[in-house]
Structure 1
């Protein structure tokens, strides 16, 4: 999978991306005063093969000039009906404000639709203000049942006319 947006290359995660991807996520969490949880909420970043590749999900990285600058992923979940959860959408500060986050979300959604899922769930933290705004302006509806300790918000989007 190769997708291009401006000067960015969105591609499938490779084994050599494990440490740089974890560093991006850890640094963005720290920027917003949130903790890195390698034994809990962030374990999936360290075990992409188990959490994404083995379950039918995908983990993407974003490169700019041969440097990783962001991540985005999804995997199937038991919550809801025929559902996935979008996870690990993180961008370094220097690449924000260029429409990349919205583009990444749209690409994840398009891929999820082609895989015939009916619902997309997202958990996030109120501290991640830009992410909350992105989800709320992209058709995600507030829901209940936060499962991750660090997160205090959960959203759902119904695909293909399901739900509402």
Structure 2
């Protein structure tokens, strides 16, 4: 099935939809409680959070409805040249249509434009489709977390040389 989805920068009117997506998808993978992005205060004001320097968040728009998103921002507590792929989640209805790959490429394009030389991400070992996506795009698993993301619940870490 081909959908008429498009990727665009987040707008203030998208905040509630993005928060709802994050709070819907993360529990599907057991990512609830302390140590997960679901509890980040920025989940309720994503557009403002990603309007900071060297940060960008994009949404997947399907017929005027936001069905997913993903972004990049400097890795807190990390090297100046390292960004973090952040809060990339999609509703079940849009998965399997190439959206994840397109979003990942858009985020990496933004990261390169911001001058980052590495992209870091954290995920959960049970997010197998996401892990396959990251590995297909060249991310290499690393043994320990980097920076201070505040996501102590994550147990799988990746890095990509940009």
Same fold (TM over 0.5): yes
1:33 aligns with 2:39: no
- Aligned positions, number: 155
How much has 1:140 moved relative to structure 2? 0.6
Aligned residue in 1 for 2:153? 150
Structure 1 unaligned segments of length 5 or more: list them: 160-164
Distance 1:34 1:118 in 2: 29
Distance 1:91 1:120 in 2: 20
Residue pairs, 1:5-16, within 5 angstroms:
7-16=4-13
TM-score relative to the length of structure 1: 0.84
Distance 2:109 2:53 in 1: 19
Distance 1:50 1:92 in 2: 22
Aligned residue in 2 for 1:58? 56
TM-score relative to the length of structure 2: 0.85
Aligned residue in 2 for 1:48? 46
Structure 2 unaligned segments of length 5 or more: list them: none
Distance 1:96 1:55 in 2: 30
Aligned residue in 2 for 1:88? 87
Greater RCO, 1 or 2 (C-alpha within 8 Å, sep 6+): 2
SS of aligned partner of 1:105: helix
Q: Relative to structure 1, is the Cα distance of residues 36 and 72 closer, same or farther in structure 2, using a 3 angstrom cutoff?
A: farther
